[in-house]
Amino acid sequence: MTKTRILAALVMAPAVIGAVLLLPTGWLMLLSALVFLAALWEWLKLADIEDALARSILLACNLALMVALVWGSRSQHPGALPLFQLTVVLGVAWWLLALLWLRHYDFASRHDGNARVFKLAAGTAAVVPAWCALAVIHASQPNGHRWLLLALLLVWAADSGAYFTGRKFGGQWFGGRRLAPRISPNKTLEGVAGGVGLAMLVAIIGALLIGAKASQLPAVALAAAVTVVFSVAGDLFESLLKRHVGAKDSGTLIPGHGGVLDRVDSVLAALPVFALAKIWLGF
């Protein structure tokens, strides 16, 4: 399984990097929409929507929302995406609410209509703003494609930093307290700290390579830290959905990695936060 996981990662990572750096924003939006909608398809299943026709209709509604956002953002200025920016803000607001949801493990855990409604709304609130954030970052000038790659690198660095720090120092720095024992027992506060630290280092180095000014580095480091915290929330929220339905993975599409949602859960939360920070802090 480990070998399969590594081989799949070696295929996916260059493909993602190449797409971010080489594709124009429009084509990247189209490609990423396919990926995010595939993740949403799995989210709908975790929300107890077993019927394929019902899931297809719900997926089509989300696709229509994406198309409407594109249509409503038409402008003579390719980088002007006002509706996308508004959706990014709404996405960050949603993830703030998700932090509260994570504190109340049993909320919407029952397999009834009310729980489905909350989880369906959460799916749209997670996927569509992340897609908008990807477009906003990539279309920004100058070097939007590089900033988007850096945002993704932050998530990957945080994941690696959390894994190795957690294995080495888990339970030693915070009195053995776990991050969210009912949702993801293996996640430690030490791991989160290690992930944040490595991501901040990657952010500073990456920003310098992109061409950021020295005066902008504190803002970039702060944005990286907050982005990583929310990326952890994204990962935990998917884990919460899986525990509610007793699933190990969101799907089986990616060998050794589970489903698409298993790979992009952190990204869904990270991209809106990074995009808003980039706009707000001006780097």
Taking the chain (283 residues) in runs of 10, the rounded mean pLDDT of each run is 70 94 96 97 94 96 97 72 94 97 90 89 98 97 96 96 91 85 91 96 98 96 98 96 91 78 96 97 92
Its pTM stands at 0.94
d(CA 200, CA 160): 13
* Predicted local confidence at residue 11, as pLDDT: 85
* Predicted local confidence at residue 178, as pLDDT: 85
Buried (b) or exposed (e) across 168-183, using 16+ Cβ within 10 A?
A: ebbeeeeeeebbbeeb
Helix, strand, or coil (residue 204): helix
Number of neighbours of residue 60 by Cβ within 10 angstroms? 11
Residues 6 or more apart in contact with residue 137 via CB below 8 angstroms: 144, 147, 148, 151, 271, 274, 275, 278
CA 63 to the chain's CA centroid = 18
d(CA 241, CA 105): 10
* Predicted local confidence at residue 1, as pLDDT: 47
Burial class of residue 23, CB neighbours in 10 A (0-12, 13-18, 19+): middle
Enumerate the domain spans of the chain. Answer: 2-281
Cα Rg for the chain, rounded, in angstroms?
Answer: 18
User: In this structure, what token pair is assigned to residue 216?
Assistant: 């902008």
